[in-house]
Amino acid sequence: MSAPGDKAGPSQISKSVENEAASKPVSILSSSQAQVARHVHPVLLVAFFLVRFNALVLDPVATMWNSLPVVLAMQVAYAIVCLPPAGAQAAKAPKKPRPGEKKKPAAEGSGSNIAVTTTAALFLSTFSACALHLIFVLFGAPLLTHLPNTFLCSLHLSLLGLFPLFYTHGVTKNSWLEILGARAPFDETFGGLVGGCLGAWLGAVPIPLDWDREWQKWPITILCGVYAGYVVGKAVGGTLAFGRRFG
């Protein structure tokens, strides 16, 4: 990406975002369960997706809907076992300026902290699915028909890609500015989001082909891309690219 500041004229006081937003990548908890779970989690996800694939092709809406609880359970379990909840890192950090987070007050006891963070993150993920739905439509998804297909697909993407980020970052403004600006450091969570989104983007490629296959139905290919991209992105983000940034 072009270096910010090309255009910053002399009049603009460069309050360069880089300085204050040196957020660190999220490391997986060091407990042994966490280390095991981080590897089991993608395997389970992929296995589950493959098991459900035929049903998905037969009836995308029902299958996506029925799978939600399972995927949700997997994501929640992964988050709780492997990831530090929002605020946990901040507490460790020397000083944290008020991030303007509403769910924060509840973060007293660590048990209730996890429960509240999970709930809030789930709520936020559901809400973000609406935004993702809109983005799908802007990319050309049908506006008036196939509403459940598109929405459930965005919900899956949101649960995979966004939920871990909400869980670890809460709604800290700077973190999200970094994430949305693709400046965040790579870790399992951000890598998963990038992978999921790229997967969804590439998932659109087979749709126009005239192969007349059932699996070309909307949004099966996108969902495949999301799952594949998420798993790959998560793995790469947690290992090879860990701590690196775009641009």
Partner 1 sequence: MPTRDPRPKAPPADYKTIAAQYARAKRLKEIEAAGRKSEVPSPDKAQDDAAKKQRAAFESRRKSAYEKRFSWTVGFWVWMLFIHIIGIYLFTSGFLLARLVLEEQSECSNPPIEPLAQWNGQGSVDAGCWHPKSFKKAVVVLIDALRYDFTVPVEDSSQAEVYHNAFPFLYETSLKSPTNAVLLPFIADPPTATLQRLKGLTTGTLPTFIDLGSSFGGEAIEEDNILKQLKGLGKRIVHLGDDTWTALFPGYFEPNISRAYDSFNVWDLHTVDNGVLEHIFPLMQPERTGEWDLLIGHFLGVDHAGHRYGPSHPAMASKLQQMDKFVRDLVQTIDDDTLLVVMGDHGMDGKGDHGGESDDEVEAALWMYSKKPIFGRTKPEYRIPPATAKIRPVNQIDLVPTLSLLLGIPIPYNNLGQPIEEAFAGQKGDGWSNLAAVSRIASAGIRRYQASYFAARGIEQSSLPGSPADFWERANVAAQKATKTQEGTYTAYTQYQEETLRICKDLWARFNVTRMVLGITVMALGVIVLLIYVSRDEDDDLAVLDPELDFAEKSLEMQMSTSTESPGSDQGLSKNLVKAGALGAVVGTGLGGGYVLLSASQDWPLAAAGTALGSLVGAAISLFGYGKSIANLIPRTFWGWLSIIFTLSQSIGFASNSYTIWEDSISLFFLSSFGVAAAIAALRRPTIMDRSLGVYHSVLFVVLGRIASFSKLCREEQMPYCASTYYSSANSSTSAPWQLAIPFAVFLILPTIIKAYLTSSRSYEGLAPAWIGYVLRGGLLLAAIYWTLDAASNGEWITSVPAETLKTIQVSVAQLVLALAFVAGTTAFIWAPPCVSILTTASKSGGKPQLIVIGHGNTNGARYLLLVVNFAAALILLSKPMGTGAIGLMVWQILSLVEIIDLNAITTETIGPVVLALLGNFHYFKTGHQAALSSIQWDSAFIPLFTIRYPWSPLVVMLNHFAGQILACVAVPLIVIWKTDPKRKAVLESTTRALGIFVAYYAVESLATMAWAGHLRRHLMLYRVFSPRFMLASAALLIVDLIGIAVTLTGVRTNTLAISEIFGWAD
CA-wise closest residue to 153 among 203, 233, 219: 219
Contact range with partner 1 by CB under 8 A, out of 81-89, 166-174, 175-183, 184-192? 175-183
Say if residues 231 and 193 touch (Cβ distance below 8 Å).
no
* Segment 20-25 long-range contacts (CB within 8 Å, at least 24 positions apart): 20/174, 21/174, 21/177, 21/178, 21/183, 23/174, 23/175, 23/178, 23/184, 23/185, 24/89, 24/185, 24/243, 25/185, 25/186, 25/187, 25/190, 25/242, 25/243
User: Please, which residue, 78 or 136, has the CB nearer to partner 1?
Assistant: 136
Q: Tell me how many residues contact partner 1 (CB under 8 A).
A: 29
Give residues 203-222 in contact with partner 1 (rule: CB under 8 A): 204, 208-210
- Is residue 16 near partner 1 by the rule CB under 8 A? yes
- For residue 84, what is the DSSP state? P
- Is residue 130 near partner 1 by the rule CB under 8 A? no
- For residue 5, what is the DSSP state? T
- Is residue 202 near partner 1 by the rule CB under 8 A? no
Which listed residue (34, 99, 181, 217) binds partner 1 by CB under 8 A? 181
| Binding track over 84-123 against partner 1, x by CB under 8 A | ----------------------------------------
Task: Enumerate binding residues for partner 1 (CB under 8 A).
Answer: 1-2, 4-8, 12, 14-17, 135, 137-140, 177, 180-183, 201, 204, 208-210, 246-247
